[in-house]
Structure 1
Amino acid sequence: MAEDSDQNALAGAGALQEALRALLPRTKEELKLDLSENVERSVVMLLQQSADLFYGGERSECLQTSEAILDYSWEKLNTGAWQDVDKDWRRVYAFGCLLKAMCLCEEPGDATVATALRVCDMGLLMGAAIFEDILIKVAAVLQMHLLPGKRPAQGPAQEQPCIKKARNGHVSIPDMRSEKAVPRLHCPSLQHFRKHYLMPQKPVILEGVADHWPCMKKWSLEYIQEIAGCRTVPVEVGSRYTDEEWSQRLMTVNEFISKYILNEPKDVGYLAQHQLFDQFPNHLERGWMLIAMRKK
C-alpha cells in the first residue's frame, strides 16, 4: 500500500511538472526580459544564467540563482517610495519568483507545491506582469494540484478558536411614525421605481431584488476557503495606520479567516488594498467583499 501511495505521488508530481513546463517558452532564448538600462548589466547576466541553468536541467543551481535574484531585487523594491520603484525591477522580481516556483515543484509533495504557490503570490503582489501573466497561470496550476478545500490540520496542542459571540445588549428602537417611515418594495418594475422614487429622489428600501444573484447562494466563508484558502494576501492589522501598533502582514486566506473572522482577536485585521482581482482572475467574483470588508 505504501509503495502504491508513493507511485501515485510521483505520478501526480510528473503531471504537475508537465503542466508547468507547458506554460514556459520552448527555448531559453525566449525566456528573456527586455529590460531598461536602470537594471544593472550584472543582473541581466544573472537572469540569463538562471534561464540557462533551468533549461539545462540544473535545478538546484537554478534555485540558488533565483534566490539571489530575489534577494537583490527585493532590496530595490524596498528602497524609497513604492511609486518611485522602476517597473523593470518589479519584472526582475517576478522573474525570480517564476524560476524559484518552477524549481521547487521538481520535488513531489504538497508542502513544496504550497511553498511554490506562496512564491507565485509574492511575485503577483510585488512584481509586474511578465510573459503574458505567466505567474497567474502557474499559480492556477499549483492551486489545482493541491487538494480542493484543504485546511491546515489542527493538532491537539493547538489552541482552539474562540468563536465570536453574538451581542445580546438591548438596542433601543426609535419611535418612528408610520407616515414617516421609509417604504419597502418587493421587486418593483424599473418603470415603477424610476417614476415614483428615482426621479422624485425619494428613499425606498428594495427587497428581493438580489435574491437571484449567485453570491446570495454560493458565497460563504467555506466556499472562499475552498477556492482561495491557500493563497497569500496582505493583511493590515490595527484600526488606523497612524496607530503605533499598526502593521502589515502576509498570510493565507485560511489564516486570515481563522484569526480575524472566526476568532475573537485583540487586534482588528482586514485585507489590505491591492490588486486582488488581478491576483485571482479565474476564481473570484464580487463575493470577495464578504471578507474584504473591514471588521468592526
Structure 2
Amino acid sequence: MDQYAVFGHPIAHSRSPEIHAWFAAQTHQDLEYRAILAPLDDFEGCARAFFAAGGCGANVTVPFKLDALVFCDQLSQRARLAGAVNTLWKDAQGQIHGDNTDGIGLVRDITQQLGVSLAGKKVLLLGAGGAARGAIEPLLKAGVRHLTIANRTLSKAQQLITLFHGVESPAGRQACSWEGLAGEQFDLVVNATSASLQGELPPLPEGLLGPQSMAYDMMYAAQPTPFMRWAQQQGATRVADGLGMLIEQAAEAFFLWRGVRPPTAEIRSLLRRQL
C-alpha cells in the first residue's frame, strides 16, 4: 500500500489523516496516510527516513515548511515564490519535489466552493508573513483587478510587492500600513495575520468593507473569529473562515500525488459538524 504522511510538531491535532483517508475512499485509491511527529532539530533526517522506507509523498505543517523548502531537489514556481513547501513527493528517479498548495487552496475555496469570482475584484491581503506570501501568486493569477498588501511594518509589505513584481498579471499592486488603509474600500479582505490565533484583530480602520464585500479569515475555529465578527459588524455580505482552505489545499496535494481530484463538499460538512 502506498505510504503518505504529514510532518509537524505538534501533530496530534492534525486533520490531514482524516481528510486524506476520506479522499482515498471517495476516489478508490489504495493508500495509507499517517501523522509523523518530527523532531524539531531533525526534520531532514525524519523525512529522509520516510522516503527511504518507500514513502511516496507527504504534507508538511508548522514549523517545518522552510525546512521542507531546503530539503527538496526540485521546486515548483509556487513554492519558490511562497518561500515555503507544504507538499512533497518522490519521482521515479528518486528526486524529491516540493510545492505549496496553500494559496491555490484559498482561491479554490473562494471561487469554487463559495462561488465568488475574483476576476476584476479589488482585494486587500492583511499580513506579510508566510501565509500571505503563499496567497499572492494564486490571487494575482485569479484575475484580481488590484491587490493591496497591508502590514503593521510597511517595509515588509513593500518587500512582497517587489518579490512578486515578475508574476504576470494586469493587476495593480500596492503596499501600505494599517493607517494607510483609511478611506479605501475593497471587494475582498483576506486576513493572513496570526491575530485570530490570539483572539485579536489587526487595528483596521472603518469603511474597508461595503455591502457587497466579502471577508475571509485563513484561520478557522468552532466560533467566528474576531476578524469575522468585525467584518459582519462592518456590513460584509459574505464572511468565511479557513476550514475550506485547509480542505482545498489538501485536495490539491492529493491531485499532485495521485492524478485524481477528490470531491470536497462532504468532508467540509463533516469537519464543520465536528468543530
Normalized against structure 2, the TM-score is what? 0.24
Q: Which has the higher helix share?
A: 1
Q: Which has the higher strand share?
A: 2
When Rg is computed on C-alpha atoms for both structures, the one with the higher figure is: 1
Normalized against structure 1, the TM-score is what? 0.22
